[in-house]
């Protein structure tokens, strides 16, 4: 039996290929995947897909064998000319260099600072949900939770934490759409075509220049007008160089927005699909802390992260050659029946819950605390503000065409008492 394809981004527009993941886990846990040209992007050399939980964790933890630096962390190979640039980002570095940057940015990201945003985040959840309910009542009884609640929620929470002024928030949305939505023909961020007729890489230095110029302007402003936010902390840190600051800004804008922008509607969609679980949450029969993690397990915002083998090695009985691409499939690992009992059940009190939605090893998500705080506030407020009764879908959600971000572009729901 040949290994099914889980690379083609177009299939993710229809849904996560869970059946294919299952076949891979059972019969080809380390499966070779071809990388044909798709959506105008050039063909690649192919890669190993890692779909079992145990192997995924092993790859993510062992950065000396599976490097984030050699070929960076996206499935698609970077243009060799752009690699040195993209490797300046800590996401694309290995220990020990990675550790220095991680320590620096962790100083700006303390749990105390993050916790101070809780009130503001909660009020935002309440007001966006209240407005959406009022709009549904005044209109046809439906609202789109993505365009009316969760897109703004993720973006505005991140801009608060970073300290981006209100007037500049639309810029951030534009940049993240350009970087993440590039595989999706519908997205506003679809990149321009280059002289060769192929899409311009949205992560190349040329494409990012306007974002970097903005990072400098904002840093200069923060030095003049310091505040309790992450950009003030980074801009006033004497150990951080100007290029490092640019890269942090880029990393935080992309890593902190589209992930929560995916997780928030993903969780609400699962609650709509499981009315009995939603009811138990509303009645306080299960806690929000375990619920947030179970929703993240069932809807991991990030679908894949890539590593490159630094040496010949063996992974679960498969020979990997130095230089091979090795790609972890988070949604598959999170549904591995070897680790999770009844993996397709939504058990909001599941504990322990060793999902890998935030990754594992040295690059484990730096924003996990902030992400959990936002998701918890959103689900708690949804339980208070939305009309009693199940969340009823008004139409199937529309999904992002991407093998990287598990995005929802719309989630229309009918308000039960309207």
Residue ranges that bind ligand HEM, judged by CB under 6 A: 60, 68, 73, 90-91, 102, 158, 251-252, 255-256, 259-260, 263, 301-302, 305, 357-359, 363, 365-367, 370-371
Tokens of residue 242, six digits: 């100007």
In the complex with ligand HEM, which residue's Cβ is closer, 148 or 257? Answer: 257
Burial category of 286 from C-beta neighbours within 10 Å (exposed 0-12, middle 13-18, buried 19 and up): middle
CB of 153 to ligand HEM, least distance (A): 12
In the complex with ligand HEM, which residue's Cβ is closer, 3 or 366? Answer: 366
Nearest of 380, 417, 28, 400 to residue 179 by alpha carbon: 400
DSSP string across 238-307: TT--HHHHHHHHHHHHHHHHHHHHHHHHHHHHHHHH-HHHHHHHHTTSS-HHHHHHHHHHHS-SB-EEEE
Q: Is the dihedral of CA 381, 385, 388, 389 positive or negative?
A: negative
CB of 225 to ligand HEM, least distance (A): 21
In the complex with ligand HEM, which residue's Cβ is closer, 31 or 303? Answer: 303
Angle at Cα 395 formed by Cα 293 and Cα 413, nearest 5°? Answer: 60
Q: From CA 259, how far away is CA 261, in angstroms rounded?
A: 5
CB of 162 to ligand HEM, least distance (A): 8
CB of 254 to ligand HEM, least distance (A): 9
CB of 374 to ligand HEM, least distance (A): 7
| Shortest-Cβ-distance residue relative to ligand HEM | 367
360 three-class SS: coil
Residues in CB range of 134: below 8 A, 6 or more apart? none
Q: Are 298 and 346 in contact (CB under 8 A)?
A: yes
In the complex with ligand HEM, which residue's Cβ is closer, 29 or 367? Answer: 367
In the complex with ligand HEM, which residue's Cβ is closer, 21 or 358? Answer: 358
In the complex with ligand HEM, which residue's Cβ is closer, 202 or 256? Answer: 256
Q: Are 336 and 343 in contact (CB under 8 A)?
A: yes
CB of 241 to ligand HEM, least distance (A): 17
In the complex with ligand HEM, which residue's Cβ is closer, 260 or 411? Answer: 260
Q: From CA 232, how far away is CA 236, in angstroms rounded?
A: 6
CB of 93 to ligand HEM, least distance (A): 7
CB of 161 to ligand HEM, least distance (A): 6
Measured between alpha carbons, how far is residue 27 from residues 169, 320, 338, 357 in Å?
A: 47, 17, 14, 23
Q: Tell how many helices (H) and how many strands (E) occur in the chain.
A: 17, 12
Q: From CA 115, how far away is CA 118, in angstroms rounded?
A: 5
In the complex with ligand HEM, which residue's Cβ is closer, 120 or 251? Answer: 251
Q: Are 399 and 183 in contact (CB under 8 A)?
A: no
CB of 250 to ligand HEM, least distance (A): 10
């Amino acid at each position: 039996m040949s290994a099914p394809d889980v690379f083609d981004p177009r299939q993710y527009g229809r849904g996560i290929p869970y059946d294919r993941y299952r076949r891979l886990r059972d019969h080809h846990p380390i499966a070779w995947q071809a990388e044909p040209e798709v959506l105008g992007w050039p063909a690649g050399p192919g890669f190993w897909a890692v779909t079992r939980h145990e192997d995924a964790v092993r790859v993510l933890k062992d950065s000396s064998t599976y490097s984030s630096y050699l070929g960076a962390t996206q499935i698609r190979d970077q243009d060799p000319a752009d690699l040195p640039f993209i490797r300046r980002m800590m996401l694309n570095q290995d220990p020990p260099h990675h550790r220095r940057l991680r320590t620096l940015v962790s100083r700006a990201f303390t749990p105390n600072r993050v916790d101070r945003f809780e009130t503001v985040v909660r009020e935002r959840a309440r007001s966006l949900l209240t407005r959406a309910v009022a709009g549904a009542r005044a209109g046809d009884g439906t609202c789109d939770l993505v365009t009316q609640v969760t897109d703004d929620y993720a973006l505005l929470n991140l801009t608060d934490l970073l300290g981006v002024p209100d007037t500049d928030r639309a810029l951030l949305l534009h940049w993240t759409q350009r970087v993440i939505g590039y595989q999706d023909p519908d997205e506003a961020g679809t990149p321009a075509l280059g002289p060769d007729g192929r899409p311009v890489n949205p992560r190349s230095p040329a494409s990012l220049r306007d974002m970097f110029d903005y990072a400098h302007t904002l840093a200069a402003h923060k030095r003049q007008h310091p505040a309790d936010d992450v950009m003030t902390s980074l801009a006033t840190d004497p150990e951080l160089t100007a290029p490092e600051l640019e890269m942090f800004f880029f990393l935080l804008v992309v890593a902190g927005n589209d992930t929560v922008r995916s997780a928030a509607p993903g969780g609400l969609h699962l609650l709509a699909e499981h009315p009995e679980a939603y009811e138990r949450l509303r009645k306080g029969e299960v806690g929000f802390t375990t619920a947030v993690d179970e929703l993240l397990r069932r809807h991991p915002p990030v679908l894949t992260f890539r590593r490159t083998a630094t040496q010949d090695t063996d992974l679960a009985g498969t020979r990997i050659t130095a230089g091979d691409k090795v790609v972890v499939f988070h949604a598959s690992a999170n549904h591995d029946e070897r680790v999770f009992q009844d993996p397709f059940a939504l058990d909001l009190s599941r504990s322990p819950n060793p999902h890998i939605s935030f990754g594992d090893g040295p690059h484990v998500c730096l924003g996990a605390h902030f992400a959990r705080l936002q998701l918890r506030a959103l689900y708690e407020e949804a339980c208070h503000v939305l009309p009693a009764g199940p969340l009823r879908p008004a139409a199937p959600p529309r999904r992002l065409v991407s093998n990287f971000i598990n995005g929802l572009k719309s989630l229309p729901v009918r308000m039960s008492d309207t």
